[in-house]
Structure 1
C-alpha cells in the first residue's frame, strides 16, 4: 500500500508492534505493505514517538518551502544582474542608483555595487551650457521639416551660421526627442547590383515617372515628375487628375525649351510613355528613350527615390483641399527641394548649387586659357579651396 495512506502516528504504532516482538512478515501481511517499506519506516522513524515524527514532517515541509523561496530569490537576483548588465550609459546608472537610495534606503556604496557603477561617475554633474537658443532653433527646423533627420538639420544650422559639430547636433537632437518615426516598408529581395555609369554633367540623363495621391474629397490625382539623374534637380512636377501621353510630350517639350535636350530619358512601360503620341514625339524631337525591364523599378532608382522623398515629406504630411491647393503645395516643395534642401548624395549640397558647380567646372575645363588666368589671378589659399574635379554620379 502507498505510504501516503499512513500518518506519522500510524507508522509509529506499527514500529512499536515490531519492537514488541512481532515478526516483519506478519506485520507486512497485516497492514498490507511490503517488508522493504517497513524497514524504510524503521530507518526514518525508529526510536521516535508520535510528536517527534509529526515535528519532523513539519520541518521537511518548511525546508521544501525555504528551498523554493531560495530558488526564486536566486532567479530574481540573476535576472536583476542580467538587466543591470544591459544598462548602458552614465545617466541610466545614475537614475538606478538614485532609485535604490530613495526607495530601498540603501547607502550609495551598496547601491553602486548592485548597479555596477563607479561612485565618481554617480557624483559627477555635467557642466555643459544649456544651449537654449540652439535647441529652440533645432526644434523649429525639425517642426518645419518633419521628415528631416539630424544630418540634414545639422547642414541647415551650419548654413544659418551656427558653428556646431555633427555630434553635438546629434546629442541635442536626441535629447529633444526629435527622432523621425520610420515608416516600415515591405521586405524586398536583394541581389548583386551593378553601378549605373552616367557622365557627370547636367542633362546627361533624365528619369520620368508618376506618383499618385488623393484630395480631401477622395478624388485621385497624379503628379508627373521629371528628375535630372546627375544633379538630382526636379525639372518638372505636373499635378492633374488625368495626364495623357500627349500631355506628357507637351510638358517634356516645355522642359527641353527651358533646360535643353537630354542625352537619354529613362522610364517604365506605363501606357503614357508607350503611347503613339510619345513615340511620335521622341522621333520628332530626336531624344533617346530607354525603357527599364518590366517589374524592375530599381533600374529607374533615381526618380523612384525622388518619389519616395516627395511622398514622405509632402504627400503624407499635407491634406490637399483641391487641385489648385495641391499644385501650389507641390510647386513650393519643389522650389525648396532644388534650392534649400541639402541632398546626402551630393555631399549635402543643394541640387541647384551642385548643378552650378558642375557647370562652372565644365566651363573652366573647356577654356584652358581662362583656367590658367584664374589660377594666376587668385591667391594660393583660394585656389586650394576650389579643386577642379568632376564628381561621379549614380
Structure 2
C-alpha cells in the first residue's frame, strides 16, 4: 500500500520536474541495472568508473539520491568527499621548485659518502663543484648515506695506510734435474705487491740471508717492519742486521703461514706460473729463470689486488698495432702497442 502511494505521488509530481533531472534519474537507474548484471556471487562490485559516474551525477543533480538503490546514500556522499580531497590534493601539488637531480649524480653522492667516511656534506659539495656539478649543499646532505655514530675508518683503510712500511720474506725449495735441492729467497713489499728481491742458493745460512736483506734495501729506503716465519735459518745475525737497518723484526706465530699470506701467495704464483713448468738444470739456470719471472711479475703481470695493474704501473695504450713478446720461452707473453 505504501509503495503504491509513493508511486502515485511520483506520477503526480513528474510534470513539475525538469526534463534534465528526469533524464539524469533515468540514466542513474539504467546504470544501476548494468551494475547489477555484473553481480558476482550475489554481491554487487561497483568499479571506479561506476563510482565516478554516480559521484558526477550527484554533483550535478543531488536529487538522484532518491533513486540510487545499489549503494547507501551515505556511501555515495563518502565517495564524493574522497574524490573532492583527491582532486584538491592533486591541485595543490607544486609543479615548480627545484628540478630533480639525475640518478648518476645521486649515485655519485652516495659513492663519495661511502668511500670517504670522514667527509661531510660541505666537503662533498666542494668536490662536486670542482667536477662541474651545480647542486645545493642541502641536496648533497639529503642523498648522502646516513651513518650511525661518529665516522670511522675500516680495517681495509687502516691496513692500507700501514702497508707501505711492511715487507715480508720467505724461503722456498725447488728440486733440480739431479734431485738436488735449491733454495729460493724472496722479499715482497706489501703495499704494491712488488717483488723487490729474489735469489737462489744451495746452502742458505743466516749470513747469506742477512746479506740479501742488505742488498735488497738501501739504508734510507728500508721498510719499518719485516714479517717472517720462525724458520731456524733466521739466526741472531739476521735479527741484528734488521735492527741495524731500522727494521723491526716481526716473526709469525708457530705453524701459522696464513699470518705471512702475501709472501705465501707470491711463492704459490712462482710455482704455478714458473717453476712447475720447468726442469731446473742447476743454480745458475734457476736464478736466470726467477730473475726473468721477477721482471714479468713486477712490470707486466696484472694483479687483482691492484685493480688489474702491475706493481710497476703500466700505462694504458689506445693507439698503435698490438704486438706480443714471449717471456720465459713463451710460457707467458707481454702485449703492447707499437
Q: TM-score category by the smaller chain?
A: 0.3 to 0.5
More helix as a share of residues: 1
**TM-score, scaled to structure 2:** 0.45
More strand as a share of residues: 2
Higher relative contact order (Cα pairs below 8 Å, separated by 6+ residues): 1
**TM-score, scaled to structure 1:** 0.39
